[in-house]
Structure 1
Amino acid sequence: MIVIGFSVLLAVLIAVESGASQLANVVVTGGMWALLAAGLALVFGVMNIPHFAHGESFMVGAYVGYFVFTPISAYLKENPNGTLQLLAPLVGVLAAMVVGAVLGAFLERLIFAPLRKRTRAGWVMNTFLLTVGLSFVMTNGTTLLLGPNFRGIPRYYDFEPLEFLGMRVAFDRIFAFIIAIAVIALLTWFMQKTRTGRAIRAVSQDETGAQLVGINLGFVHTLTFSLATAMAAMAGAALLFMFQAYPTVGLKPLYFAWYVVMLVGLGNVYGAIFGGFIVALLQTATQQFIGIAWEDVVPTAVMILILILIPSGIFGSEVKGIQEQ
């Protein structure tokens, strides 16, 4: 309740100081941090993997979004089509989702599944080092293949900003927010209402017990990693108008996703969704009242303070085996 009250107070102060339009930025940014952090928490909660190559999934999504949307945009300049113009960004995001899902499944089967079969000793530390190495490989591999150049777009939509309750919100931001909310809603429904989603939750709570009742651990692990990678890739494509595609574009999103996960509790997927908006509020409030140079400092300081006072996070969570490891 204290956290919710503090968040509401911050939102009111931001609205009074700079107008309601800044709250729209909080909502959009928070939605994307929530999307990234939910995937990160899912991988950690189900697989015990501290995934430090998650930002590279965001990077892959940004590149896919760029290479899919750019030719469509060029075609539309020669052949205007209102319906296609509305759908073109969605095509880029869906393409990023497919590529991300395939990439996630491939990486899990190629790297993590063989390691899991060989040994469970020191699993968290081994996978931490493995994902850090994977991050370097993906970043440098992208630099070799595509070069260090920035690739981006000024905007997805050329429409005038939408005016609503005194706010002027660009259609690009509305699009990104809709994508984030839709994916989060679908993830929640999937985890709560489907048999596969319940199997994922069972593995996160008790892997041995889940295996005893016939749940295929290999399938659950591959699906979990695939889902998380797809979500990060979708975020990268949806935010192409804010984050240009280049090899290290995923670093900042990765940092903020980890801020969220450690703030709310390791492996807490639903807490991560709410935590994304808390971190976005902290960012915006810092920019507004202290200065943009402190944008990364304040969330980091808050995270450190939370870890000192409440090691399990503000919502608390227990990840199987993590304390022992």
Structure 2
Amino acid sequence: MDILQYWDVLVTAILRGGLYSLMAIGLSLVFGVMNIANFAHGEFYMIGAYFAFFAFSTFGMNPIISIVVAGLLAFIVGAIVEKSLFYPLRQRSKKDWLMNTFLLTLGVSIILQNGVKLLWGSTYRGITAYWPGRIKLGSGGMEIANDRVVGFFIAVFAIAAFVYFLNKTRIGRAIRAVSQDETGASLVGVDLKMIHTLTFALSCMMAALAGACLLSITPAYPVMGVNPLYKSWFVLILVGMGNVGASIVGGLIVGLLETISYFQFGAGWQDVISLTIIILILLFKPNGIFGKKGVKSAVE
């Protein structure tokens, strides 16, 4: 590749990786704080896309407001799911928690997929663009859709706001405390029920924001969350389960790997390369390349 192609690869990788990071942070957060391997995470990406579609196309909302509304509605749905399903399970199931929640999230995934089919059918629901037009980068003729660029900056803003929230607010510090030592946090007065609900809801909101941002590129349909879920797990396995801050870097790494694979070998090879690297990580460094668990480790 010449220098202009390298530039194209880098820009594409950064734009793709930013949204991977947003998805992966939500998945890593709920694992790091609640020890839940959430296999319904992709379905919150999906409902975020649906919420944004209806807000933008049906109610004629501003693009930014549509994306924010999608995130807020997913936050509410996530809080309801945690209170109605995970909280009762926590009260009754102390043993085999990880396996039980894994099975529960699979059930939630199936229910959400089929619930969407029942409500809105299997028809693809997309939009032409939030912000029509393309941006030309450099002198090499590379053009990027406005939606992809704005979506990346929304992801950056959401990640920055989340890091600020964890570092600078009392509730954020409580979330970090619970991720490090749940019993100790409880002893000093942290409300575990509130923290668990908030954590799960925030995780769902971040997934929904990613789905809403990419609506013009990936239209809403019931099983659209499967691929983003796989990408999020690629990131978590790569950097270490529950390591929230490293998930930001991991999303960019996965975006770079996929983009280079696509440019070098063609369509379809990006998943092959990613899976090969994940297998090697599991074989030789199963704790991930950063190997630290906890929300605290991610933002300091």
TM over 0.5: yes
One-letter code of the match for 1:41?
S
Q: Summarize the Cα distance change of 1:160–1:55 in structure 2 as closer, same or farther, 3 Å threshold.
A: closer
In structure 2, distance between residues paired with 1:293 and 1:187: 33
Is 1:296 the equivalent of 2:271? yes
Is 1:103 the equivalent of 2:90? no
The corresponding residue for 2:63 is 89
Contact 2:45 2:207 (C-alpha < 8 Å) held by counterparts: yes
Task: With the length of structure 2 as denominator, give the TM-score of the two structures.
Answer: 0.94
The corresponding residue for 1:137 is 111
Task: With the length of structure 1 as denominator, give the TM-score of the two structures.
Answer: 0.87
Deviation >3 Å, runs of 4+: 162-167
Is 1:58 the equivalent of 2:45? yes
Deviations 1:42-90 (A, max 9, x none): 00000000000000000000001111111366xxxxxxxxxxxxx8211
Contact 2:26 2:203 (C-alpha < 8 Å) held by counterparts: yes
Uncovered stretches (5+) of structure 2, i.e. residues with no partner: 296-300
Residue 201 (structure 1) aligned to one of 165, 172, 176? 176
Contact 2:178 2:185 (C-alpha < 8 Å) held by counterparts: yes
CA RMSD of aligned residues (A): 1.7
Is 1:177 the equivalent of 2:132? no
In structure 1, distance between residues paired with 2:215 and 2:8: 20
Q: Summarize the Cα distance change of 1:165–1:37 in structure 2 as closer, same or farther, 3 Å threshold.
A: farther
The corresponding residue for 2:224 is 249
Deviations 1:125-177 (A, max 9, x none): 00000001110111011111111111111222123424457543321111101
How many residues are treated as equivalent by the alignment?
294
Bigger Rg over Cα: 1
The corresponding residue for 2:100 is 126
The corresponding residue for 2:86 is 112
In structure 1, distance between residues paired with 2:152 and 2:167: 22
1:1-325 maps to which residues of 2 (within 5 A)?
16=3, 18-71=5-58, 88-164=62-138, 166=140, 167-318=142-293
Uncovered stretches (5+) of structure 1, i.e. residues with no partner: 1-12, 74-86, 321-325
Deviations 1:245-279 (A, max 9, x none): 00000000000001001110000000111100000
Report deviation, 1:209.
Answer: 0.4
In structure 2, distance between residues paired with 1:16 and 1:303: 29
